[in-house]
Chains A and B, each alone.
Chain A
Amino acid sequence: GQQLNQSPQSMFIQEGEDVSMNCTSSSIFNTWLWYKQDPGEGPVLLIALYKAGELTSNGRLTAQFGITRKDSFLNISASIPSDVGIYFCAGTSGLSYKLIFGSGTRLLVRP
């Protein structure tokens, strides 16, 4: 089946640093979404992208839908301790509405 390659698997950074993570696919995607999951909770939708080249911000978070439609990145600026969690990319491809998820990037922030 289709897979999303999400990297890095984990990051351990200092508070205040900027963070970048990305997702790639071998096939074209129609939508890209980024979710954050806190321990013991379900994923929370952060940003949704619907057009190639689209750049969208949500506070300190910025995500882009790659122009090749095969990748997306998420940037977090000036990280804070509450940014800790697992970030998932997800997307839909072809005629299917089914969301395909990446395996997640675990972010740890050192105060």
Chain B
Amino acid sequence: ETGVTQTPRHLVMGMTNKKSLKCEQHLGHNAMYWYKQSAKKPLELMFVYSLEERVENNSVPSRFSPECPNSSHLFLHLHTLQPEDSALYLCASSQASDQETQYFGPGTRLLVL
């Protein structure tokens, strides 16, 4: 595997379900990010982890819970989501010393019913 991978690529869940999105980077980076991409809106930064510590929580509702167990893996735990949370969730990584230059995964397309 190369670059940034995300699983699953597609997810359909009910509002009472609990699910997790996974991201893995194979670039030797030490900063990772979660973004939300909704139709006709710019990418929204959700969370930032640098050197395995959360350094940014962009006013994200608590029904989204990130986890970064090591510098190569990032999770987004989802519970009691709302239909308006349906979107493409993108993971990205970078060097902590060069956080402007980010590399994205393919995303997880989430549909909340």
Question: Which residues of A does B touch, CB under 8 Å?
Answer: 3-4, 30-31, 33, 35, 40-45, 48, 50, 88, 90-92, 97-104
Contact = CB atoms under 8 A, between A and B. Distances in A.
B106 A41 contact: yes
A34 to B, nearest CB: 12
B107 A42 contact: yes
A102 B42 contact: yes
Interface residues of B, number: 22
Interface stretch (B14-22, B61-69, B94-102): B94-102
Contacts of A98: 45, 48, 56
Given A40-B107, A42-B4, A42-B106, 9 more contacts: A40-B106, A42-B92, A44-B104, A50-B100, A98-B48, A98-B56, A99-B43, A102-B42, A103-B41
A71 B58 CA distance: 26
Given A40-B109, A98-B56, A45 B102 contact: yes
A33 B106 contact: no
Interface in B8-27: none
28 contacts: A3-B42, A31-B100, A40-B106, A40-B107, A42-B4, A42-B91, A42-B107, A43-B43, A43-B90, A45-B102, A45-B103, A45-B104, A48-B101, A50-B100, A88-B42, A88-B43, A91-B100, A92-B100, A97-B99, A99-B100, A99-B102, A100-B42, A101-B42, A101-B43, A102-B42, A103-B40, A103-B41, A103-B42
